Amino acid sequence: DGGITQSPKYLFRKEGQNVTLSCEQNLNHDAMYWYRQDPGQGLRLIYYSQIVNDFQKGDIAEGYSVSREKKESFPLTVTSAQKNPTAFYLCASRPSQGPAPLTEAFFGQGTRLTVV
Amino acid sequence: GEDVEQSLFLSVREGDSSVINCTYTDSSSTYLYWYKQEPGAGLQLLTYIFSNMDMKQDQRLTVLLNKKDKHLSLRIADTQTGDSAIYFCAESPSGRRALTFGSGTRLQVQP
């Protein structure tokens, strides 16, 4: 079955450590996205990538980094510079690139990161 | 989600209709979307509406769009306990390659 896989589902990190969240898709989608979800605040865009080896900052990119070396993979690193990293992180992908209209975005099941 | 606003909570009884409202700010959005999120899970696309439409019906779901007021609503007929979830509206502003989401409305369905 095609889909988006995020791992791990739960992640604990000590303060001062970097941690990488995995996102893999086998839908052959060009575009991939990372969102952060906090209670009562909806989803905020961290980074997105329209094509391999290219990515753009979203609204809250500070303290995060990404790479897009393969079409299927878009890992997110939460660095020690991110002051409040505890949140639910969602990865998404969609099939087409280019100008609007956007087509359906498919979401992974999320990773809950907790800083201890 | 600061440009897309939703009320945070809605409680209905099983069998009643639910209406979830959303206001958005970018009139250039070509499509507007409704997503459903169940606890601890990702988002699932429920339905979407093209900006030149006023209404779209899909089984128990009815989407109404008022472009003049930039108001979007989702009506769920005969609401069931399985409809309990968080519902997000989202817009697709031109010039932006990602969706902008509202803060989500938590729907609680009481038996």
pLDDT in tens, B45-64: 899 898 889 999 999 999 99
d(CA B29, CA B27): 5
| pLDDT value of position A101 | 47
Q: Which residues pair with B62 in a beta bridge?
A: B57, B75
Is there a contact between B102 and A56 if contact means CB atoms under 8 Å apart? no
Instruction: Measure the CA–CA gap between B111 and A14, rounded to whole angstroms.
Output: 42
Q: Hey, is the C-beta of A5 within 8 angstroms of any chain B C-beta?
A: no
pLDDT at B31: 85
Chain B, nearest residue to A112 by Cα: B40
> Is some CB atom of chain B closer than 8 A to the CB atom of A75?
no
**pLDDT for B81:** 95
pLDDT at B14 > cutoff 50: yes
Q: What is the pLDDT of residues B83-97, one digit of tens each?
A: 999 999 998 877 667
Partner residues linked to B95 by β-bridges: none
Spatial CA neighbour of B103 closest among A89, A59, A40, A58: A40
Percent over 70 (pLDDT), chain A: 91
